[in-house]
Amino acid sequence: MNHLPYRQRKPLRIGHRGAAGHVPENTLAALEQAIKLCVDLVEFDVRRSSDGALVLVHDRTVDRTTNGQGSVESLPLSVLCGLDAGGGEQIPLLEEALACLNGRAGAMIELKVAGIAAEVCAVVQAAHFQGPVIYASFFHDDLLTVRNLKSDAHTLALLEGAPVHPTAFAIDANATHAGLALDSVTPANVQALQAHGIKVFVYTVDEPEDIDRMKRLRVEGIISNFPDRI
């Protein structure tokens, strides 16, 4: 098992959707740019095509990020791979993203739809990935699936908005990490999670004053479209 941190640095520098502030998001070019910026981890999003391929797309549809239209789950891989994802880039497969990062940076894989955890884990295992991997999701049942498949896996329970209870959402998911939205971070919830041994990552932190504030709170990871600012 590859242990975090990938480098001895705190907080970890995590590129959001690759390095989406510089290059079209969730493309191989974005992943390469993140590596050039010396990130510890590259965050990217995974969905399933209509014919079962695991591809890197954030939104439910391809409308915003490509020259195509329609939901990802309604389109076959042959159509998805023919779309322009920005600057002539294509939508990558999960296998291609892992090959790009392998031995160069860690992977933070966000499961954007429920029910793909086992498939994603299988692809990661088949890739013989060298480096840390964190499985992230708002679907906390899928994180439990990951942990059941691989008891020493790193998982990150994402939460949007302030938690009803500061730690229950992460503990119930048996997660090793918690992912908090920037506008919901408080010293109290960071400290409560850390007191339970749960590492805190914050998204999406782009402005220098917010980056400095997260450093002062001593969070373990900062996720940014501009990882070079961290």
Q: What is the pLDDT of residues 150-208, one digit of tens each?
A: 999 999 999 988 888 999 999 999 999 999 999 999 999 999 999 999 999 999 999 99
Give the integer Cα–Cα distance in Å for 47 and 101: 19
Rounded to 10°, the helix 94-101/117-126 angle is: 40
pTM value surpassing 0.85: yes
Question: Which letter, b or e, does each residue of 46-75 get, where b requires 16 or more Cβ atoms within 10 Å of its Cβ?
Answer: bbbbeeebbbbbbbebbeebbebebebeeb
Contact between residue 10 and residue 219 where contact means Cβ atoms under 8 Å apart: no
Instruction: Count the neighbouring beta carbons within 10 Å of the beta carbon of residue 171.
Output: 15
Q: What is the Rg, in whole angstroms, of the alpha carbon atoms belonging to the chain?
A: 17
- H or E stretch including 216? helix 208-216
Question: Which residues does the chain have with pLDDT short of 70?
Answer: 1-9
Please tell me whether residue 120 adopts helix, strand or coil conformation: helix
